[in-house]
């Protein structure tokens, strides 16, 4: 009898242990399911929720794609530009944004959108890039451009070119079809021709408006009575595509009456252009020498990566404090990996526009 009871007791203890094990497994499974459900209910928990960045975001979730463009910082303040000219600028910026939207909404890459937008501004005489480029002290046009892929950290640039119709396309060709990052002058033009890019005569870049500006500044400097150099900035674009990849590009004709061979920040990776999927994409515009000395575009990325600043906080620190304290004017556009944007400038105007998936194009010239 005792022997029988002994075996029954063992069976009971065994059954109890099995039941306890099953309960623990069920409990752990329940906890895991709860964690998964919470992650779906709160997808933005891992995003940067800095209030300054949220001001530029439509919601707490990352948009499918984002595009930001600029047509340069500087120029007269509000009321200082004829209404019809102002409309030409806003209409063109709107047109450029719509073209970029077409690329991104159909699954195009951020690089494709950046190149498309900058090409359109290079083809317009309104902006100081491509067709609207300013003249050097010798009365010639010398153009610069750069582009960077945030996914691979590859970059390409051209500088001091005068026969390449679209320098931004040449910069992309350098990035994708050469082992180098920057080509200049005749070497860049030779490479562009070998790649089948459109080559034009230097006279293509002539516009009467820019020539008149050059003659005025040139004559003033010859007499030692130079006034403030007219600012016409640069053009640029930054984008975040549906694949989560960032890209940035910048193109310019430089400064009116600049020395032959002068290169500004626009073709310098880290100064006028920078993109890194881990942080942001930046395109700058302003007094290039200061942007080079301060490595402006990369500095913003570094402040985000190493100090944990939001895109907006980092950008305003650089533009409103670092640059301004040195007497440098200009601005920049940026987008981060979460789709937050920033558009700081310390001049009276900056031609700019934004558009994102599910939203409308917004174009501005003067401070908000």
pLDDT tens per residue, range 97-141:
999 999 999 999 999 999 999 999 999 999 999 999 999 999 999
Residues 314/59, Cβ–Cβ less than 8 Å: no
Q: What is the pLDDT of residues 342-354, one digit of tens each?
A: 999 999 999 999 9
* C-beta separation of 255 from 153 below 8 A: no
**Distance in angstroms (rounded) separating the CA atoms of residues 148 and 157:** 9
Q: What pLDDT was estimated at residue 223?
A: 76
**Catalytic annotation on 207?**
no
Q: What predicted TM-score, i.e. pTM, was given to this entire model?
A: 0.82
pLDDT at 218: 83
Cα diameter, the chain: 124
CATH dotted code for 51-364:
3.60.20.30
Res. 47 pLDDT band, cuts 50 70 90: very low
pLDDT of residue 32: 60
The mean pLDDT of the chain is 87
Tally of CB atoms within 10 A around 29: 10
Task: Kindly tell me the burial class for residue 194, based on how many C-beta atoms sit within 10 Å of its own C-beta (0-12, 13-18, 19 or more).
Answer: exposed
Strands 246-252 and 273-275: unpaired
Residue 223 phi, psi (nearest 5) = -90, 0
Pick the more confident residue, 303 or 21. Answer: 303
pLDDT of 8 over the 80 cut? no
Q: Looking up tokens 């009116």, which residue turns up?
A: 256
Percent of the chain past pLDDT 70, that is, above it, reads: 81
pLDDT of residue 46: 36
229 has a pLDDT exceeding 60: no
Pairing of the two strands 350-356 and 362-364 = antiparallel
Which residues lie across from 341 on neighbouring strands? 335
Which of 109, 116, 169, 234 is an active site residue?
A: 234
Token look-up 């006028």 returns 272
In angstroms, the CA 124 to CA 129 distance is: 8
pLDDT exceeds cutoff 80 at 17: no
């Amino acid at each position: 009898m005792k022997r029988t009871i002994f075996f029954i007791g063992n069976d009971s203890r065994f059954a109890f242990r099995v039941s306890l094990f099953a309960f623990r497994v069920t409990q752990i499974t329940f906890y895991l399911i709860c964690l998964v459900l919470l992650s779906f209910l709160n997808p933005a928990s891992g995003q940067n929720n800095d209030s300054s960045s949220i001001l530029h975001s439509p919601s707490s979730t990352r948009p499918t794609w984002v595009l930001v463009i600029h047509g340069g910082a500087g120029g007269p303040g509000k009321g200082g530009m004829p209404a019809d000219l102002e409309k030409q600028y806003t209409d063109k910026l709107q047109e450029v944004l719509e073209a970029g939207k077409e690329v991104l909404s159909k699954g195009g890459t951020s690089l494709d959108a950046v190149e498309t937008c900058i090409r359109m501004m290079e083809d317009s005489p309104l902006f100081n890039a491509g067709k609207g480029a300013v003249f050097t002290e010798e009365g010639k046009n010398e153009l610069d451009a750069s582009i960077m892929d945030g996914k691979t950290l590859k970059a390409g640039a051209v500088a001091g070119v005068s026969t390449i119709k679209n320098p931004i396309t040449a910069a992309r060709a350098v990035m994708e079809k050469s082992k180098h990052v920057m080509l200049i002058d005749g070497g860049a033009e030779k490479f562009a021709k070998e790649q089948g890019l459109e080559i034009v005569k230097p006279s293509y870049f002539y516009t009467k408006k820019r020539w008149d500006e050059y003659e005025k500044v040139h004559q003033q400097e010859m007499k030692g009575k130079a006034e403030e150099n007219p600012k016409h900035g640069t053009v640029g674009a930054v984008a975040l595509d549906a694949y989560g990849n960032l890209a940035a590009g910048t193109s310019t004709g430089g400064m009116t009456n600049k020395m032959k061979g002068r290169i500004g920040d626009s073709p310098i990776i880290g100064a006028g252009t920078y993109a890194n999927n881990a942080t942001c994409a930046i395109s700058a515009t302003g007094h290039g020498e200061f942007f080079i000395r301060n490595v402006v575009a990369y500095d913003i990325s570094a402040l985000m990566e190493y100090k944990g600043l939001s895109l907006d906080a980092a950008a305003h620190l650089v533009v409103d404090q670092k640059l301004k304290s040195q007497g440098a004017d200009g601005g920049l556009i940026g987008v981060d990996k979460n789709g937050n944007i920033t558009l700081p400038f310390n001049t009276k105007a900056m031609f700019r526009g934004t558009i994102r998936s599910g939203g409308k194009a917004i174009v501005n010239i003067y401070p908000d």
